[in-house]
Amino acid sequence: MTMETPAADPSNLNYWAPWRQDPVLLQEREGRWRWPWALILTVVCLVIMILLIGVGVALLVLLSIVTGSEDEVRQAAQAAGSSLFTPGEPFSYLIVFWTYAAMIVGVVVALSIRAKSFRVGLTYNTPLTFAPFWKAGGAMFVMLALSVVLQYSIFPEGFAARSISPTHALWMLLAAVLLLVQTLGEELLFRGFLLRLLGAVLPIRLIAVTLISGTFISLHIGNPDIQADIYFSLIIFAALEVLYYWMLFRTRSVMATWGMHWINNVFAFLIVAQLPGWDNKISFITYTDPVLSGGGSYATNPWPYIVTVLFMLIFVMLVAWRRSPFYIAPVSVAPEHPQPTEMAQTSAQDDWPPWFPKPVPAERTGAP
């Protein structure tokens, strides 16, 4: 009687060791996911994004000239760094849409060079379903709602509700749809594409995740909400990235992190805007923080960190507890990834660009 080795949970802490190769990332190590294709596909993606954004800027300028709305476009462009959505100003919405649509197109084209479908960027060798999106997003909503309840219990005077007209509600609905595009663009680029490429070249989870999340965080440093309390915000940002990547490796699905990301942004921009931060003209509720508005900081206060960890544990419980409506079962992989066979090595060599030297297969040694 033989016993089969149980499949390994990809979110297992053992795989975070800096000397352990990750089975999820190793499964992507084939053909064009290796050097030099990793570099080539990254350049292709970035070039397409830059070109499309340039075309979008040119079209916006041309449209503003034709419609005589140069001032509106100029104001929307100037406000893009401090405010994303302004009701009644369609150009503020167009800028967001075009920027992140260009990001999605760049990733889709690069993925199409490697694979037959861009959907490979949404999962790591698992079936594509929307269940992780809604369940992870629902758990994120509960976590954020509880945090707002705690804020209200401590300082209710900081909350103010905005009067919402039917027209304003339509602008909010459009913003929620555009946030789907915005968050999909970032998730596809960083967790669906760049992590896959880097992980296939360097399949060590801790290193790959640190480099990709570090790049992602650095691109958000200039955001007004980060600048309001930069050191504290960066620490919390990094902690939330840990939560996102735990969910990614648990589900092997970018759909889960996309749902979390979308709900987080919908909450921040449309439901409860935290002030000081973005110049928010669209959210239903605003919360003016008494410490930050007075020029203070939470960086040296231990309680916000403790509360953040507790809320993260609540999220983990919601998705890991089997009786929870947001439960997502972990997707398993083989405990050890098989070494490439000689046929696989030959296939990889055939796929190598002619202007690069082909890799030399490792010599086999006979038994003593």
Per residue in 129-182, pLDDT (tens digit) is 999 999 999 999 999 999 999 999 999 999 999 989 999 999 999 999 999 999
In this prediction, what percent of the chain has a pLDDT beyond 70? 78
Q: Kind and range of the H or E element at 275?
A: strand 272-275
Phi-psi region of 211 (alpha: psi -120 to 50; beta: other; left: phi over 0): alpha
- Residue 3 pLDDT greater than 70, yes or no: no
**Please, are residues 347 and 159 in contact by the beta-carbon 8 Å criterion?**
no
pLDDT digits (tens, 9 = 90+) for 23-42: 888 877 765 566 777 778 88
Backbone angles phi and psi of 165, in degrees to 5? -85, 165
Look at the pTM and tell me if it is higher than 0.85: no
Number of H helices, E strands in the chain: 14, 3
Q: Kind and range of the H or E element at 292?
A: helix 290-293
Report the mean per-residue pLDDT for the chain. Answer: 82
Name 21's bridge partners.
204
> Looking at residue 59, what is its pLDDT?
78
Task: Give residue for tokens 């070039």.
Answer: 47
Instruction: Of 68-72, 226-230, 337-341, give the lowest mean pLDDT range.
Output: 337-341
23-32, 34-43, 44-53, 274-283 — most confident range: 44-53
The residue type at 31: G
- Residue 348 pLDDT greater than 50, yes or no: no
> Looking at residue 112, what is its pLDDT?
81
- 212 vs 203: CA distance, rounded Å: 13
- Residue 72 pLDDT greater than 70, yes or no: no
- Greater pLDDT, 92 or 208: 208
